[in-house]
Amino acid sequence: MSEQNQQQEKKLIFSGIQPTGTFTLGNYIGAIRNWAPLQDEYRCIYSVVDEHAITVRIEPAVLRRKTLEAYAQLLACGIDLEKSLLFIQSHVPTHAQLSWVLNCSAQFGELSRMTQFKDKSRKHQDDINAGLFDYPVLMAADILVYNADLVPIGADQTQHLELARVIARRFNSRYGDTFTVPEGYVPPVGARIMSLQDPTKKMSKSDENPNAVILILDDKDTIIRKFKRAVTDSGSEIVFREGKDGINNLLTIYSAVTGKSIEEAEKEFDGKGYGDFKLAVGEVVADHLAPVRDAYARLVDDKAYLKECYTRCGAEALRYSQRILNKVYRKVGFVASEIR
């Protein structure tokens, strides 16, 4: 079988990430780190979804900077452009074009039940715009415009994926077989990383306490300092147990970064104090992220190289998705256009 045919036999994965700033250790361990290994098993299409970012107010210059920084971070985290596509969403207009068609297969009630819309509406009560309400349909278009088979998801995205599946089935029922109904892809190890200052909450870059969050571009001294200040408990045992949220979180991080099991980590630190344990976790995390920091520093300043990458990938994504959009347009009855 030719290499091209082998590629066609592989299932297609789509995943996108918003350019909201430097990725956290939680983003990295829970999602982004898993993107690189997928490239050997699947056809992978990845996107910096800047159109989603404007559902809340953001300064144009800040959005441009964060978009390029997110692109460089993904390359630094191992996205290989010989194996995958990595593009900027707004460069590929088929996403927005398909989104409008899919709006006509989405129901108002379905969108009004989206948990993230409710949460973001509470946070941005002065700007509850139509895009904030409707962005799950754009998410569906991001996926369906490539007929993706699989979508890596976390617990907070299952509702959006299910909406994409509902819309795909509804469109197929009305117009005939058009879209692949995507499935969720859950990585074999999907560690959930919690705040270092409140380990009952998910680690988030929006946390007001900078010591709660490890950013993947933090230098080694900063990472170790934050881990030294991590909340633990009043005990002394380094064991994974109910009621020891802080230690459980640190063990989870140590296990995810080193590849050792929780049980192996518990044995390694048996009899040692919390201070030694927190220092060890900080050191392995800092050393693990060092290649990412180094690669990012090289990439982010090479604007010409980044432009070459996102332009080439965007053009290829557009060619691929345009074929699917053209099929959709024919199905709904639009007159074919010769405008190019």
Q: Residues 6 or more apart from 18 whose CB is under 8 A from it?
A: 48, 49, 50, 52, 53, 70
In the DSSP assignment, the letter for residue 205 is: T
Q: Is 227 exposed, middle or buried (0-12, 13-18, 19+ CB in 10 A)?
A: buried
- Residues forming beta bridges with residue 45, ordered by sequence position: 14, 85
d(CA 276, CA 262): 17
CB 169 within 8 A of CB 200: no
d(CA 261, CA 258): 9
Which residues carry out catalysis?
Answer: 120, 202, 205
CB 249 within 8 A of CB 194: yes
CB 279 within 8 A of CB 227: yes
Q: Which residues of 139-150 are buried (b: 16+ CB within 10 A; e: fewer)?
A: bbbbbbbbbbbb
Alpha-carbon torsion, ordered 265, 268, 273, 277, to 10 deg: -50
Q: Residues 6 or more apart from 54 whose CB is under 8 A from it?
A: 63, 131
